[in-house]
Chains A and B, each alone.
Chain A
Amino acid sequence: MDIDRKLQILADAAKYDASCASSGAARKDSQGSRGVGSTGGAGICHSFTPDGRCVSLLKVLLTNVCLYDCHYCINRRSSNVTRARFTVEEVVQLTLDFYKRNYIEGLFLSSGIIRNADYTMELVIEVARRLREEHWFRGYIHLKTIPEASQELIERAGRYADRISINIELPTEAGLAKLAPEKNLVKTQEAMGKIRLRIEEAKESGGRTVPAAARPARRPPFATGQSTQMLVGADDSDDAAVLGRADQLYRSYQLKRVYYSGFSPIPEPSSLLPLKPPPLLREHRLYQADWLLRFYGFQVEELVPASAPRLPLEIDPKLAWALGNRAVFPVDVNKAPRELLCRVPGLGIRNVLRILEARRHCRLHVADLKRLRLNLNKCLPFVMTADHTPRARLLDGDALRQRFLPLKQLEMNFHATPVPTADDTLAVRSGEF
C-alpha cells in the first residue's frame, strides 16, 4: 500500500476526534538547533475544511486496526472499513515534511488498539521519541493515551508530548457499558487523576516563581495539559448529564478542554446507534455553556436546572438564563460589579474588561457601547447606561423572548425529538428521508 493510500485511510479514521488545539504548550523554538519547530502562545490553524473545522495538526492514527468494539467508532472491530498501518518512520517523515512546508503545527497521534494497550502505546511513544530525539522536532505533539496502559508508559508519553489526552467518550457508566464495552469510566478517571498529579508536579519543579536553588530536584519535563472528548447524541444522556460530567472533569483533573463531538453519521454504522444525528446546534450550545462554566462564573444547575435538563436550541444559554432570571436586570454598566456584567447577554469577557476600564474615566452612554461593537439589540434590554433605561415592562413581558427567536421559526419540537419507528427506519433506508 503506498503512502498516499495509507494517509487517506488513516486520516479518515482520525477525523472524528474534534480536538485540534495547539495552544498552551511551553514556549520552545528551533533557534540554535538543526531542527524545526516552535510552540507557545496561541496555536495556529493552518487551514479550514468545508465542515468549518480547522486543520492545525496532522491528525492520524498509527493504525485503524482495533480490538475494541465501540459502536460510535468507525474503526471498531465489527466495522468493515479498509485497514491500514503506518510504520513509525512513515509518520515521523510525514510530520516533518508537512511541518517544513508550514501545512501544520505538529502531530496529533492516536491509534487503534492492537495486541494490548501497552504494545500500542509503545509504538505511539516511539514516533514522538524519534521526532524529538532524532530530528530535534520542537513543534506540537499531542498523544492520545490509552487509560489501560501502564503508568510508566503514560509517564514516557508525557515526557515527549505537549498535551496528552484520554477520551471519556460518554458521560455515563451505563452509556459506556452499552456502547463501548471495553472501556471503563473509573479506569479512565484514574488515569486522568494520575496525569493531573504528574502535570502539577512538573509545574512545581520547573516553575519560574520558585528560585532555582529552592526548587526540588528536577524531574523530566512533562506535558503541560490534558484534554478529553465527549460524544454527544450517541446515547440518551441529556445536556445536564453532559455538562455535569464536564464540570466534574474540569474540577477533578484540571483539564484544559473538554471537546464535545456531536455524533455524526459514519460509514459502516452500528445497529446500536440512533438513526438520526443530533442537530449540530446542540454541540454549539454545549460549547457556549462550557465557556459560561469556565469563564463567566455560571454553575451547571443554573444553565440546566433539574426542571429543564436540556439547553434550548433556539437561543444561546446565557440569554436563556437572563430571560429566566429577569429580576437581576437591568444591570447598570456604570456601577455593576464584574460578576454581574459577565451575566449580561451579548457582553463577552473582553468587553466586560473594557467597560470596567473605561468607566474609571467617564460615564458610559449607549454610543460608547456601540463603539465597543456590542450587539446592542441583544444587550440593551438588559442594561442601564447614563442615557438609557430599558422600558420597565419590557423585562416582564413574554415579548422579550419572542424578540430573540430566529426569524423563520421552523415547526419543529427541539426538545422531544420523536423516537424513530420501524417505518421511519424503512423510509430512511429507502431514500425517502
Chain B
Amino acid sequence: MRSVSFGPGFESWRDQARKLMAQGVPPEEVDWTDAAQGESLFQPPEEASIPTGTPAEEQSWRVPSAFVNLARMAWAHVDPRRPAVLYRLLWRLTRGGEPYLLHVPTDAGVRLAEDWRKAVARDIHKMHSFVRFRLVGTDGESGREQFVAWFEPPSRCVRLAVPFFVKRFAGMDWSILTPDECAHWDGETLHFTPGLPKDQVPGEDNLDALWRTYYRSIFNPARLKVAAMRNEMPLKYWKNLPEARLIPELIAESQPRMETMLETPGREAAPVPRNAYIHQLLKRHDEVFAETIPASSDLAALSLEELHKAAACCRACPLWEQATRTVNGEGPENARVMVVGEQPGDQEDLCGKPFTGPAGQVLRNAMVMAGLEPSDVYLTNAMKHFKWIPGAGRRRKHATPAKEEVRQCRPWVLAELARVRPAVLVLLGNTAAASLLGREVKVTQERGLVQAPELAERVILTYHPSHLLRLPEGPAQERAMAEFMADLTLASEA
C-alpha cells in the first residue's frame, strides 16, 4: 500500500496522480490522505517520490481533455472518496485499456464522477444566482462603485464560479467573501485571499428594502407552490438572501388573499373611452367576417383596395386558421399582364406579398429575361391563404389545396381579374388553371395558348415555377425551363 497525501487544490491531486501513473502504481495500491485531515492508516504519507518511469513512457499516457475537465469540476465536491475514484478512472482510461470509458455513462465510476460534477455545477449556478452585492462606497479617484458580497457555497467552487462575475460586473469593484476563500476584482485583476468569518461582512444594502417590495409584489398568492420554490431555492441559502425573510408571511397571507379575490363581485365592461385609436381598433370587428363564399355580384362594386380589405376578412374555408393572413395580389390596376399562381408559400404568408419566396425569385428572374418588368405586372394567386401541413422539424410543408377550397376562393381572383382586365393572363400550374378555367386542367397536356376569351384576349398556361425548382437538374429540367421561358415570351410579345 502506498500512502499519498493531497492538498485542497485540484493541482495537488493532479501532480500526485501524474507521478503515480508514471511509476505504474495501480489504484488499489494507493491510500489517499487529505493533508488537512491528518495521517494515513498505513504509513506516514510520503511526498510522492521522483518519477521512475522514463519520459517516453510518461508521454504514452495521453489523458483525454474531457477527463481533465470532469476531474477539475468533480474535485470541488466535498466527497472524501474523490481522489481515489478519480485516480481509478484515470488508470482505467489509460493503462487499464478502456479509452472509451467516459462514453459509458452507465459505468459506476463514471456515474459517480458525473454526479459530483453535476452537484458542483449546480453549486456554481446557485452561487451565480444567490450572491447579493451590497454597495459599500465609491472610489474617490476612479469614481467606481465598490460592492461586497458574503456567500457560503456548499462546495469549494469559488474559483470555478468567479469568472462569471468578472465578465458580468467588469465596470464595478467587488469582493465576494466566503468562509473558504475570497475573490476580489478591481477592474483589471482578479485576486484571491483566505476565507473570512461571517462577522467581517457589512450589513444590509439600502436597496434591499426596495428589492423586498418587488419580491412581495411579483408573488402571485393565487398559485401557491411552496415545494417547487424550496426545490430551486434550498433552505441553506435563505440566511444570506435579503428577500427570504418575507417567505413565511407571504405563504400565510396567500389563502385569505385568494379568498378575497374569489369573493369580489365581477365588474362589468367599461364603456369605450373617447379615443380615436380605440375606435379604429373596434371598428375592425364591425367589418363582416364573411363565413360564406362571397357572391361575385357583391364584389363587383368594390374598388381593388376595398376588395383586398374584404378578402382579408374572408373566413369561407378553414384555411385562414392556420395561415398568418390573406395574401392579396400586387401590381398596377391597369396592368397589361396578370400572372396567377397557386397559393402563397411560407415567405409570402409572413410578409403578405405574392411571389417573394424561392419560386417567386425564379418567376421574377424569368420575367425579366422574357422582357417583362415585374413591377408592371399584376401578380396574384388562385388561393389567398397558405395551406400547409407539419413538415420536418419545425417547418411548414406546402399542401395542395382541395377542389372545394379552390372553388371557395375563386370569387376573389375573378374579382381581381375583373378589376385589372389585363390583355394577357398567365396561369401558372394546375391550381390556377383549374380555378380560372373552371375545369380540371393538366398543364403538361395543354401548355401554351388556351382559348378563354371570357377571361382575357390572350390566355397562356404554363408551369408553376416551384415545379421547375422540384425537377432534378438535367435535361428534363432544362427542357421545362425552356418551355417556361417560351410561354413567358408569348406573354411579353402580345
Contacts and interface: CB of A to CB of B under 8 A. Distances in A.
Contact of A51 (B105, B168, B219, B394): B219
Nearest to B248: A50
Contacts of B325: 186, 189-190, 193
Contact of A354 (B105, B171, B263, B272): B105
Nearest to A245: B321
A413 interface: no
Interface stretch (A1-9, A308-316, A335-343): A1-9
A77 B275 CA distance: 13
A194 B324 CA distance: 11
B217 A46 contact: no
A79 B260 CA distance: 16
Q: How large is the interface on A (under 10, 10 to 19, 20 to 34, 35 or more residues)?
A: 35 or more
B262 A428 contact: yes
B35 interface: no
Interface in A355-370: 357-358, 360-362, 364, 368-369
B278 A52 contact: no
A59 B220 CA distance: 13
Nearest to A31: B170
A252 B349 contact: yes
Interface string A160-173: 00000000000000
B278 A59 contact: no
A408 interface: no
Interface stretch (A225-233, A265-273, A318-326, A390-398): A265-273
A16 B250 CA distance: 17
B68 interface: no
Given A29-B170, A71-B269, A277 B210 contact: no
B132 interface: yes
A421 interface: no
Interface stretch (B52-60, B227-235, B435-443, B461-469): B227-235
A101 B220 contact: no
A254 B132 CA distance: 36
A204 interface: no
B465 to A, nearest CB: 21
Q: How large is the interface on B (under 10, 10 to 19, 20 to 34, 35 or more residues)?
A: 35 or more
A322 B207 CA distance: 52
Given A50-B229, A280-B225, A433 B262 contact: yes
B42 interface: no
B217 A270 contact: no
Given A46-B130, A49-B219, A299-B390, A7 B266 contact: no
B209 interface: yes
B349 A193 contact: yes
A307 interface: no
A101 B170 contact: no
Contacts of A248: 322
B74 interface: no
B224 interface: yes
A181 B258 CA distance: 27
B278 A67 contact: yes
Contacts of B219: 15, 49-51
A59 B351 CA distance: 31
A122 interface: no
B351 A193 contact: yes
B395 interface: yes
B104 interface: yes
Given A4-B210, A102-B149, A182 B105 contact: no
Contacts of A89: none
Interface stretch (B79-87, B281-289, B358-366, B369-377): B281-289
A55 interface: yes
A153 interface: no
A78 B270 CA distance: 5
Given A31-B170, A48-B233, A250 B394 contact: yes
Contacts of B391: 251
B133 A44 contact: no
Interface string A50-81: 11111100110000000111010000111110
Nearest to A38: B168
Contacts of A269: 261, 264-267
Nearest to A266: B261
Interface string B188-217: 000000000000000001010111011111
Nearest to B356: A197
Contacts of B209: 4
A53 B220 contact: yes
B312 A186 contact: yes
B223 interface: yes
Interface in B244-261: 247, 250-251, 254, 258-261
Interface of B: 100, 103-108, 111, 125, 128-135, 145, 147, 149, 164, 166-172, 205, 207, 209-211, 213-229, 232-233, 241, 243, 247, 250-251, 254, 258-270, 272-273, 275, 277-278, 281-282, 284-285, 312, 322, 324-325, 347, 349-352, 388, 390-391, 394-396
Given A269-B261, A271-B265, A357-B105, 9 more contacts: A3-B210, A50-B224, A58-B214, A94-B210, A101-B135, A252-B324, A358-B104, A428-B262, A429-B265
The 5 closest A-B pairs by CB, nearest first: A52-B228, A52-B225, A78-B270, A271-B266, A193-B350
Interface of A: 3-4, 7-9, 11-12, 14-16, 29-38, 44-55, 58-59, 67-69, 71, 76-80, 94, 97-98, 100-103, 115-117, 136, 139, 148, 177, 181-182, 184, 186, 189-190, 192-194, 196-197, 247-248, 250-254, 262, 264-273, 275, 277, 280, 294, 299, 354, 357-358, 360-362, 364, 368-369, 371-372, 428-429, 431, 433
